[in-house]
Amino acid sequence: MNYDNILAAENGEKFGWQPDLLIPAAYDIFWSIVVLVVLLLFFWKFVLPKLNSALDERAAKIEGGIEKAAAVQAEADARKDEYEQLLAEARTEAAEIREKARAEGEAIKAEKKQETQVELDRMTKSAKDQIEAERQAAVVSLRQEVGALALDLASGVVGENLSDDQRSSAYVDRFLNDLDQKAGTTN
């Protein structure tokens, strides 16, 4: 016997094809439905609630994480706003400090300029006073020398000694005063 014949003999066929080979028997369909219903009930009663609770728990964690992330983001935004406000205040304060320092610098500069001007005025006045005193001393000295020279010259012309006489001194002073007046009117 051939293996094909053995298979055909076991299935109740000799050499043909049977259509009930693809359709199971009624008891197989019944028990398959029973097993399927039992499995569905088992999954419905035990597995599905646990799966739903696990999914709900996971969803709650995700929502909590989202809420926590939103809270952290809100706090970060608040801190950022606070930082920006502090930075703006610091910039304003720095500008005020710079302006105050500039104003103080200008005040110090003006004060030093005024002090320098006062010192220069004092030095100029002192120099003018000193020059005037030296000029007066030079004029007095020059008058005495010119008077002495004039008397010597007059003594030489007249042939007498005129230097001892008070009168000759008065003449010399009057002569020099006349010269000063003439020099004052020409200037």
Nearest-angstrom CA–CA distance, 185 and 178: 11
Domain boundaries, the chain: 3-186
Q: What is the pLDDT of residues 9-25, one digit of tens each?
A: 555 555 555 556 778 88
Nearest-angstrom CA–CA distance, 87 and 79: 12
More confident: 95 or 162: 95
More confident: 140 or 52: 52
Q: Sorting pLDDT into bands at 50, 70 and 90, what band is 107?
A: very high
Half-sphere exposure of 77 (CA within 13 A, CB side): 6
How high is the mean pLDDT of the chain? 83
pTM over 0.85: no
CB 176 within 8 A of CB 146: yes
Residue 1 pLDDT greater than 60, yes or no? no
Q: What is the pLDDT of residues 123-149, one digit of tens each?
A: 999 999 999 999 888 888 887 787 777
Provide the percentage of residues in the chain whose pLDDT is more than 70.
80
Residue 163 pLDDT greater than 70, yes or no? no
